[in-house]
Structure 1
């Protein structure tokens, strides 16, 4: 009996030690989808200053892409037009890349999107053209940009954006926190 109790205690302590060292920790992963406004997206609204499109994302997850005043807006989810992200863009004139990186976290029911990373191309109208990686938190009712990384400045911008997505996105408070700028 003592051997059984001692063995159970030792097994539990070993399991707890492995958990605390991260031996069972699951790292986040990336998948990629395309944003093809002409072929894969549906025009939902057209107006004098631009248009709004509904596009399929990772496993059909809704992606909203809007253009207005030579700037792009991208939001996610079933209520994407009412998310904070639907009103966020960069100050300079911009367009978006067609490749969307989804950061996924392993959950008990499978891989779940927690953030996206999308490259924006900016032009200030005076010849200064740059690229920025925008990290957007994915959570119904709380979808917003959480970080911006100047990809023209940093050679490792993709990794910086992934690190910010993994460390900031899930706990980011869209109502009260300022957008992070990748170092």
Structure 2
């Protein structure tokens, strides 16, 4: 996976069709991916910690979360099988990683076109008081169908006080036109420790 890092304001990076933006209503809705709200697939593997669950999404979509070797991948589809075939289902990060339990769905006139999730990226370069790697927070923007499901942008939370707004603007302004496998995933706003870790 290739990455293109930008340190300038997101407004300088993105061009949009102003007429289209003014003609639609974009807002956020939220769902949970907490295990209690999802359906577990099979039995967790105690040897490698692997587990899978399917969580209800919006507008007929489901969220598939696969975990293995202390790393998660997240994908979206009309069902588990469809989600598992998307590029997002193979989007592993090098460091240990996990997601928080809330998914933000960006929707235009009620139709979701992207999700935003907070990820925790393990930083082996610094440990907490218990001796475990510290977690660095990052927001990932993922585009939705029509078209493939894949990551389009990352925002370092610590480096950007307005991280949530940057992620929403990235979702709204270029997720729908992003071509998975051709376009480069962007780091929006200031790069920080979490975005540096995933590029190694």
**Fold shared per TM-score above 0.5:** yes
| Count of matched residue positions in the alignment of Structure 1 and Structure 2 | 159
Check 1:26–1:80 CA distance in 2 against 1; reply closer, same or farther (3 A cut): same
Residue in structure 1 matched with residue 85 of structure 2 by the alignment:
82
Q: Distance in 2 between matches of 1:104 and 1:23?
A: 12
1:99 and 2:102 are equivalent in the alignment: yes
| Secondary structure at the counterpart of residue 180 of structure 2 | coil
> Would you say the 8 A contact 1:93–1:125 is kept in 2?
no
Farther off after superposition, 85-94 or 141-150: 85-94
1:122 and 2:128 are equivalent in the alignment: no
State the TM-score, normalizing by the size of structure 1.
0.80
> Would you say the 8 A contact 2:104–2:117 is kept in 1?
yes
Structure 1, unpaired ranges of 5+? 1-19
Give matches, 1:1-150, under 5 Å: 25-37=23-35, 39-45=36-42, 46-47=44-45, 48-49=47-48, 50-77=50-77, 78=79, 79-106=82-109, 111-127=110-126, 128-150=134-156
Higher fraction of helix:
1
Q: CA-atom RMSD, angstroms?
A: 2.0
> Would you say the 8 A contact 2:115–2:143 is kept in 1?
yes
Deviation at 1:22, TM superposition (A): 7.2
State the TM-score, normalizing by the size of structure 2.
0.73
Q: Distance in 1 between matches of 2:41 and 2:21?
A: 47
Structure 2, unpaired ranges of 5+? 1-17, 127-133, 190-200
> Would you say the 8 A contact 1:133–1:149 is kept in 2?
yes
> Would you say the 8 A contact 2:106–2:113 is kept in 1?
yes
> Would you say the 8 A contact 1:114–1:138 is kept in 2?
yes
Larger Rg: 1
Deviation at 1:180, TM superposition (A): 1.0
